[in-house]
Amino acid sequence: MKIAHVSLAFLCGIAIALAPVTPLHAQDASGSAKPGDKGSTSSNAKDAPSYSGMYTFLKDGEFLQVTVEDAGSVTGYVSRFGDGESDKGAFLDQFFKNGKLDGNKLRFTTEIVHGVAFDFHGAFERGEGKNPGEEAYYLLKGTLTENLTDADKKVTSHSREVVFKLFPQEGTPAPAARN
């Protein structure tokens, strides 16, 4: 009897190992699967605005990348120029340590890079862009707190109200020229 159980377990293991693996993909709005896509199949997720994209940051040439994942989880990063003595003018990427989207309200905290981390609390709003994919179709308004940690581990925080604009997305048709 014991040999039969071991043999059955062994055969099941082989059958599972040899079974063909079919990747499952999310569907786009037309209902066709797209490899590599991430998405939710709930009706709420399909109806929700897609706030994911690249937004302006504090200075020209800097930007904020926001990616809304399933269940309101948010990933992203800030790409900015260094301000310290050792990194002045260097391009720094600060990835989100955590991020959460609740409706249109966004919160995130970045990792500390060269003694600087950012906290953001705000909300997405519609901007002056007329069509999805156009510049400033969405705005991200809120409070950005810059946390500076010195060599003695003392943290100094500076908060300011900010408005970040969505960059235009590639492949968006340009508006027709007026004569």
For the 52-165 domain, the top CATH level (class) is mainly beta
Single-letter code of the amino acid located at 38: K
Which whole number is the average pLDDT over 12-21? Answer: 41
Task: Give per-residue pLDDT as tens, 65-107.
Answer: 999 998 889 999 999 998 877 788 889 999 999 999 999 999 9
**What is the per-residue pLDDT for 17?**
41
Domain boundaries, the chain: 52-165
Q: CA-CA distance, 59 to 98, in Å (whole number)?
A: 23
CB 62 within 8 A of CB 79: yes
Whole-model pTM: value is: 0.68
Q: In angstroms, how far is CA 161 from the centroid of its own chain?
A: 21
**What is the per-residue pLDDT for 113?**
93
Q: Give 112's pLDDT tier (boundaries 50, 70, 90).
A: very high
Which whole number is the average pLDDT over 132-153? Answer: 94
Q: Is the pLDDT of residue 31 over 90?
A: no
Q: CA-CA distance, 53 to 66, in Å (whole number)?
A: 5
